[in-house]
Amino acid sequence: MKRLCVFAHWDRDNIIDDYVIYYLNALKEVCSTIIFVSDCNLESNEIAKLNGIIDYVIAQKHNEYDFGSYKRGFLLAKKLNLDFDELIFANDSCYGPFFHLAEILNTKGEEKQGDFRGISCWDYIPVKKNGTYTLKKCDTHIQSYFMLFNKNVYTSTVFNNFIYKIKQLSNKYEVIREYEAGLSKVLINAGFTSAVLYKNIEPKSKKPQNCAIERIKEQHFPFFKTAILKSEYISDTEIIKISDQISKLTQYNTDLIIRHLTRIRCNIKPPNLYRKIRYKILGNCNYKIKYFVILAEKSIFKFLNVLFFKKLQKF
């Protein structure tokens, strides 16, 4: 089975984080070709991190979100006449996989053999009302952080027309509505069948972070959405506890989660030298020390002048 993966990347600081490298290595085990498309102007030292993992790289700002990256990767594959049996669209919005992708993708069962498939589905779309977005019930659609298409789908006119028409939209909510939900709708209306590898379960908790842990524990769910832990409503203490839970349920190195969140949850971008030192420190620490480091950073950054860090970054 030849699989092509188009992987969509974006990072606030224009870097390829370690958790992304881990994910790409896992994809390499199940894909014959990987096209990495970043919505960032990456420097050569960052692109060098992909050596030996990725076959083709596109790293140029386009402001079209993940579907803009999917479009560029798919069109490159067509231009190069790449030969493959299945197409995967995946992005960096998840930590994981916590379990081997081969076991997940090779799962048999009639209910999981649709023309296009996803890890999970959703039955809401964001709708703008009075200047704010609210969720509206809709037809179930495959979530776009991981989608797999059979050859009869990605070679079809309807799929290609959809991809070619992808353009810049104003925000991620519009992307979810027009492209994520829109793609499933277009394909189903064209007669293609869909399937979900992990069915939704009735959550025991209303908190998304607890629901995510429940799914890992009960279903061996392979991913944890980064957006849940990026939220300002999640405390540093809770992040440490969630990381500890994941490490007990899986073999995943949760230091990847801690290091990523330590960087992006800080409002002030620290200088590159400091980031490197911090990664070294956090990589060899227990959870209590990691928690202390996170709190110390937030306190320090709150009092230090932003200009001071900008000056340091020039050196």
CATH architecture of structural domain 3-196: Alpha-Beta Complex (3.90)
As a whole number of angstroms, the distance between CA 3 and CA 30 comes to 7
Question: Measuring CA to CA, which residue among 71, 35, 72, 78 is closest to residue 53?
Answer: 35
Instruction: Please report, for the chain, the start and end positions of each structural domain, with discontinuous segments joined by +.
Output: 3-196, 208-313
SS3 14: coil
Q: How confident is the model over 79-127, as pLDDT tens digits?
A: 999 999 999 999 999 999 999 999 888 865 555 679 999 999 988 888 8
Q: pTM to 2 decimals?
A: 0.84
Averaged pLDDT, 189-196:
95
Between strands 86-91 and 116-118, the pairing is unpaired
Q: How confident is the model over 223-260, as pLDDT tens digits?
A: 999 999 988 788 888 898 999 999 999 999 999 999 99
- In this predicted structure, which of 111-115, 166-170, 217-221, 260-264 has the lowest mean pLDDT? 111-115
What are the distances in angstroms from CA 80 to CA 56, 69, 73, 272?
Answer: 11, 17, 11, 37
What are the distances in angstroms from CA 167 to CA 10, 65, 72?
Answer: 17, 9, 11
